[in-house]
Amino acid sequence: MTPEPRESAAPTTSQPGAFRLDGKTAIVTGAASGIGQAIAMRFAATGATVFLMDIQREGLENTASLISTCNAASAHLLPCDVTDARAVSEAISRTAAGERIDILVNSAGVSSIGNLLSTSDEEFDRIFRVNVKGVFHCMQAVVDPMKRQGGGVILNLASIAASAGLPDRFAYSMSKGAVLAMTFSVARDFLADKIRCNAISPARVHTPFVDAFLRRHYAGREEEMFAKLEKSQPIGRMAVPDEVANLALFLCSDAAAFITGADIPIDGGFIHLRG
């Protein structure tokens, strides 16, 4: 005998507003530029109230200005160093005192060039403080408010470097592997509290960081090296921040209510289609 179908407990993509965040409050770290800025702008464009967190206040002000120009939703500045546990706790406590915290996106991060032998203690610690402890501090600060309000969504920016074995990315790969491990652990530990936790693993994304990196290391050869980096992606180009923001919007919306403990690559085929 075929069981009777149960009523759906969550919106489906056929329902209006499934890919919107109306009435939700989101904290986005690394919101001063690049992927974090694109995610913050996309969330605001789809109805969220967005709290912008970054150590670069000028960049935050620029993001807030872009949001106010394009959207009716509001944006608030949370200038903060994610490596400072107390500063993060205080900033998020102030936010939670006046708002629900429906969504946390951990996008703040720094990169590093070097292999096991060329990576110094100082460089390893720098990457660990920002990319690992920064994510740890922010997640730890939002979980209790999310538990009290009956749930929430955490989205961490990992990287294909966590699993693809990129050359000369030893410390960076270490840090993103830790982000993935923390993602899976938090998803499991707070499943009963209705807190979803997922990760996105991008391949190369064309951000201001990429342009600065090429200017610093390949002065006079920027166009040549940019083309080489694009060709390393099977799809033939880098991603743009808006494409990552689209995926972030889906994963943080009610349309993804059945997704937790997942790592979603957005890599132009890099992991599985490389020749």
CB 46 within 8 Å of CB 254 = no
- 3-class SS shares of the chain: helix, strand, coil, % to 5: 50, 15, 35
Rounded Cα distance, 158 and 116, in Å: 20
As to burial, measured by CB atoms within 10 angstroms (0-12 exposed, 13-18 middle, 19+ buried), residue 12 is exposed
b/e per residue 118-131 (b: at least 16 CB within 10 A): ebeeebbebbbbbb
Residues involved in catalysis: 172
Residue 139's nearest CA partner among 127, 153, 125, 129 is 153
Rounded Cα distance, 24 and 219, in Å: 44
Whose tokens are 């913050």? That residue is: 40
Using alpha carbons only, give the angle 205, 251, 231 rounded to the nearest 5 degrees.
20
Residue 93's nearest CA partner among 63, 129, 41, 51 is 51
Rounded Cα distance, 80 and 52, in Å: 9
Angle at which helix 208-217 crosses helix 222-231, to 10 degrees, equals: 120
CB 12 within 8 Å of CB 257 = no
